[in-house]
Amino acid sequence: MYAVQMRLEKSICITLLNTQHTFLCSLMNQGYASKI
């Protein structure tokens, strides 16, 4: 269930990249690093 949520957030992150909200994407990636 957690892996599914991470995959969902990652797809949102890619969508944000496509709309050039790269700072939000990097913040989310930092969140992944702190969770692992």
pLDDT in tens, the chain (36 residues): 567 877 877 787 677 666 655 676 677 777 766 765
pLDDT of residue 31: 76
Report the alpha-carbon distance of residue 2 to residue 21 in Å, rounded: 24
CA-derived radius of gyration, the chain: 10
Q: With a threshold of 0.85, does the pTM exceed it?
A: no
Report the alpha-carbon distance of residue 17 to residue 35 in Å, rounded: 21
Task: Tokens for 27, please give them.
Answer: 């913040």
Q: Other C-beta atoms within 10 Å of 30: how many? A: 10
pLDDT of residue 25: 66
The residue written with tokens 């969140």 in the block is 31
